[in-house]
Amino acid sequence: MRKRFAKILATLGPASAAPDTMRLLHDVGVDAFRLNFSHGSHDDHLANITAIRNIEKETGRPIAIVADMQGPKLRVGEMGAGLELRYGDTVTLRQSEGPSDGDIVHTHPELTKILETGLVLKFDDGKLQVTMLNQTEARVDVPGRLKSRKGINVVNAVLPVSAMTDKDRVDLAFALDQGADWIALSFVQNAQDVLDARKIILAHPRGDKAGIIVKIEKPSAVEDLHSILSIADAAMVARGDLGVELPLEEVPVVQRKIIRKGRELGKPVIVATHMLESMIDAPTPTRAEASDVATAIYQGADCVMLSAETAVGRHPATAVAIMDRIITAAEGDPTLWEHFKHTELPHESSAEDAISRSIETIARTINAQAVFGYTRTGSTVHRIARERPPCRIIGLTPDLRTASQLALVWGTHPVVTEDPESFEAMLDHVRSIAADVGLKPGDRIMISAGVPFGVPGTTNTLKIDTV
């Protein structure tokens, strides 16, 4: 088992695509790998998936695969040598097939439908900014040179654009064919985007096994957060686009809000973007970056993510190892566990919630080293994990896909194993697994299960035992 509770998600790219490098990243701390479908071919992603599944077989440790869809990208058209936007000047925006000339910026066809007076547009990740004076003309507020194909962010507007493009549908079908555990949706603006994506995913023969991660990167998604997270399976705080479309000072507040809402609903939350950004080149992070990772852990994030640091960086394994050390140090602070203990969570009047809630209290009272949770769909383990018990969570499931998904869940060490035939057999079964995962004779443990075994949604038993 890992020595830490929060998980590490690493993005694959040219710097980490070699199978030996992937194995090294896993060994030093990666629990899940992200495939960024904005880059690379299907052949590239297939090679990565094959390597990851081989590592699973070699180590006996389930690994989560996150297929991150590109989503719609609003971009300016061809700009030739670029267009110099000068402060206070007026530029014209319109849809056109040809290259821009003079003071004309060619835009995405869907964007022209919502252009109106007062609307703020940002170009090139927020480096340039204009405010619409009418439906076609805009005043330059933040000057600079606008180059071809740079991205456009629309501030405080819901765009008439689906979160799933034609490219995404092709990529999604491929990812599901290859058994991706999680599908990350970009450009989610409201709950309907999630429902539409879920319908597409469930239409695929293997779609019922994949969880949906919503990337919260639009202000409208923040406003509709409860509805979105209620129907999604996990969330990602996509701070890159959030930082462009929201004032920078609001991003930390929104991050905390998303983490808290995810924990309330029992949905894992990943904090992403610029976590150890300087390690793309440098062998060590800045102190501010180390504090940023620790802050996510103190706030209760299930997982922290490395992007360019492992995809194209010069020190991918070192970045993972340092992130592992930062998480471990934060989790060694007793005040973190006091925060978890005093956080009020909503509970349903169900046996599952009663058991998961009591596990945290019992673990502290008897100094338990682990809780073993039998699960088929993973829901039992999710409910236990949201309570943040101060002990390891061993997720026992006969389904490899469920086990791989659980690799992304806080504090969980997934184990693929068959359900026991009886209560007595369960005790022998757990004691055998306890030895395999490194627990020692005399360690206090708990066992959460549903009797009869193998029936989803029947968690009704909690047993305290000793290894």
CATH label of the domain that carries residue 317: 3.20.20.60
Instruction: Identify the CATH number of the domain in which residue 387 sits.
Output: 3.40.1380.20
Contact, 419 vs 433, CB < 8 A? Answer: no
Q: Note whether 131 and 190 are same-domain residues.
A: no
Tell me if 342 is assigned to some domain: no
pLDDT exceeds cutoff 70 at 98: no
Residue partners of 139: CB distance under 8 A and separation at least 6: 88, 89, 90, 130, 131, 133
Instruction: Identify the CATH number of the domain in which residue 139 sits.
Output: 2.40.33.10
Query: Which band of pLDDT confidence, cut at 50, 70 and 90, is reported for residue 87?
Result: very high
Q: Note whether 319 and 296 are same-domain residues.
A: yes
Backbone angles phi, psi at 364, to 5 degrees: -70, -40
Q: Which of 3-7, 250-254, 350-354, 431-435 has the lowest mean pLDDT?
A: 350-354
Tell me if 317 is assigned to some domain: yes
Tell me if 256 is assigned to some domain: yes
Query: Which band of pLDDT confidence, cut at 50, 70 and 90, is reported for residue 97?
Result: low
Residue partners of 450: CB distance under 8 A and separation at least 6: 374, 380, 456, 457, 458, 459, 460, 461
pLDDT exceeds cutoff 70 at 113: yes
Q: Tell me, yes or no, if the pTM score tops 0.75.
A: yes
Mean pLDDT, rounded, for 56-68: 96
Tell me if 241 is assigned to some domain: yes
Of 139, 146, 92, 157, nearest in space to 124 by CA: 146
Q: Note whether 177 and 282 are same-domain residues.
A: yes
Tell me if 338 is assigned to some domain: no
Choose one of 282, 305, 332: the last residue of a domain.
332
Tell me if 34 is assigned to some domain: yes
Residue range of the domain that includes 426: 347-466
Tell me if 218 is assigned to some domain: yes
- What is the chain's alpha carbon radius of gyration, rounded to the nearest angstrom? 24
The percent of residues in the chain predicted with pLDDT above 90, rounded, is 78
pLDDT for the residue 419: 86
Kind of pairing between the strands at 234-238 and 269-272: parallel
pLDDT exceeds cutoff 70 at 187: yes
Q: Note whether 169 and 148 are same-domain residues.
A: no
Q: Which of 6-10, 294-298, 335-339, 425-429 has the lowest mean pLDDT?
A: 425-429
Tell me if 337 is assigned to some domain: no
Q: Give the tokens for residue 227.
A: 């509805």
Q: At what angle do helices 166-177 and 42-59 cross, to 10 degrees?
A: 30
Query: Which band of pLDDT confidence, cut at 50, 70 and 90, is reported for residue 457?
Result: low
Mean pLDDT, rounded, for 400-424: 93
d(CA 407, CA 31): 6
The torsion defined by the Cα of 353, 356, 359 and 361, in degrees rounded to 10, comes to: -50
Contact, 213 vs 233, CB < 8 A? Answer: yes
Query: Which band of pLDDT confidence, cut at 50, 70 and 90, is reported for residue 456?
Result: confident
Mean pLDDT, rounded, for 378-383: 93
Q: Note whether 150 and 254 are same-domain residues.
A: no
Q: Note whether 261 and 407 are same-domain residues.
A: no
pLDDT exceeds cutoff 80 at 99: no
Q: Note whether 169 and 290 are same-domain residues.
A: yes
Q: Note whether 91 and 202 are same-domain residues.
A: no
Q: Note whether 250 and 109 are same-domain residues.
A: no
3 state DSSP class of 228:
helix
Choose one of 126, 155, 184: the last residue of a domain.
155
Mean pLDDT, rounded, for 345-356: 87
d(CA 350, CA 245): 40
For residue range 48-58, list pLDDT tens digits in order. 999 999 999 99
Q: Note whether 324 and 462 are same-domain residues.
A: no
Buried/exposed code over 264-290 (b: 16+ C-beta within 10 A; e: otherwise): ebbbbbbbbbebbbbbbebeebeeebb
* Averaged pLDDT score across all residues of the chain: 93
Catalytic residues: 34, 75, 215, 273
pLDDT for the residue 1: 87
Query: Which band of pLDDT confidence, cut at 50, 70 and 90, is reported for residue 383?
Result: very high
pLDDT for the residue 461: 86
Contact, 223 vs 229, CB < 8 A? Answer: no
Q: Give the tokens for residue 244.
A: 């462009």
pLDDT for the residue 188: 96
For residue range 242-277, list pLDDT tens digits in order. 999 999 999 999 999 999 999 999 999 999 999 999
pLDDT for the residue 123: 94
d(CA 273, CA 107): 27
Q: Give the tokens for residue 400.
A: 């490899």
Contact, 217 vs 240, CB < 8 A? Answer: yes
The percent of residues in the chain predicted with pLDDT above 70, rounded, is 98
Of 245, 182, 224, nearest in space to 9 by CA: 182
3 state DSSP class of 175:
helix
Q: Note whether 207 and 321 are same-domain residues.
A: yes
For residue range 147-168, list pLDDT tens digits in order. 988 989 998 888 888 899 999 9
* Total structural domains within the chain: 3
Choose one of 134, 155, 176: the last residue of a domain.
155
Query: Which band of pLDDT confidence, cut at 50, 70 and 90, is reported for residue 450?
Result: confident
Q: Note whether 27 and 97 are same-domain residues.
A: no
Quote the longest CA-to-CA distance of the chain. Answer: 80
Backbone angles phi, psi at 340, to 5 degrees: -60, -45
